[in-house]
């Protein structure tokens, strides 16, 4: 699969836009690590957006170092297809979500892309405080893992959806029943 890569300056602008949305002051150490992260993302726009959103305005140098370390080591370990390399990068943001947020991300990736916000909230709300549901959705949106379309529909980038579906297949069956072959077989026209 050929992915459109950004030139060095475009990659820097995209990452900086997402990583430093509200930052008034960026330390030299964080700026230096951000340049290494941009280089390690190899111009992949989705990686730059998701990692930038994950690190957004975080002043803790160790968090930036950990993201860079994970990014570099993940690529060396997988070494496989473009999808695996991209998913390794994107998974950094997913792995740092708490369990409930991870579960909602996986539910969206497997079942809920395309639903409008009100339908989604009615389906997903299990009697808990609806404010917490909106908090989780906002967190996923802030990390660039989901987006809302102009028509109110929930969507995510195809690569994020593929990654989520692959993660879901690794989750014990008591959490998910989604299996792509079964779903396709049962829903054929």
CATH topology of domain 8-95: Helicase, Ruva Protein; domain 3 (1.10.8)
Q: pLDDT tens digits for the chain (189 residues)?
A: 445 778 999 999 999 999 998 777 788 999 999 999 999 888 888 889 999 998 987 889 999 998 888 887 764 333 455 556 677 778 888 988 998 889 889 989 988 888 887 787 777 665 455 557 888 888 999 888 999 888 888 889 888 898 898 888 887 765 555 445 444 334 443
- Cα separation of 9 and 13, whole Å? 6
- The residues, any chain, with a CB within 8 Å of residue 37's CB and separated by 6 or more, are 15, 51, 55, 64, 67, 68, 71
Q: What are the backbone dihedrals phi and psi of residue 150, each rounded to the nearest 5 degrees, phi first? A: -60, -30
Q: Where in the chain is the domain with CATH 1.10.8?
A: 8-95
The structure tokens listed for 129 are: 């405080």
Those residues whose C-beta lies under 8 Å from the C-beta of residue 88, and which sit 6 or more positions away, are 71, 74, 75, 77, 78
CATH 1.10.10 spans which residues of the chain? 99-186
* CA 153 remoteness from chain centre: 18
Structural domain 99-186, CATH architecture: Orthogonal Bundle (1.10)
Place of tokens 């949106």: 141
In whole angstroms, give the CA distance from residue 11 to residue 2. 17
Taken as a whole, the chain contains a residue count of 189
């Amino acid at each position: 699969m050929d992915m459109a890569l950004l030139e060095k300056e475009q990659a820097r602008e995209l990452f900086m836009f997402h990583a430093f949305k509200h930052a008034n002051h960026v330390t030299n150490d964080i700026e230096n690590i951000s340049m290494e992260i941009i280089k390690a993302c190899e111009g992949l726009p989705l990686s730059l957006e998701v990692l930038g959103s994950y690190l957004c305005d975080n002043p803790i140098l160790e968090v930036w170092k950990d993201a860079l370390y994970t990014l570099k080591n993940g690529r060396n370990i997988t070494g496989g297809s473009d999808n695996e390399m991209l998913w390794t990068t994107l998974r950094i943001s997913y792995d740092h979500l708490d369990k409930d947020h991870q579960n909602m991300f996986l539910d969206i990736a497997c079942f809920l892309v395309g639903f409008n916000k009100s339908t989604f909230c009615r389906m997903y709300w299990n009697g808990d405080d609806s404010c917490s549901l909106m908090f989780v959705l906002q967190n996923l949106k802030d990390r660039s893992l989901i987006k809302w379309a102009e028509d109110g529909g929930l969507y995510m980038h195809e690569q994020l959806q593929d990654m989520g579906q692959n993660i879901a297949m690794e989750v014990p069956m008591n959490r998910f029943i989604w299996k792509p072959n079964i779903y396709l077989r049962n829903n054929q026209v």
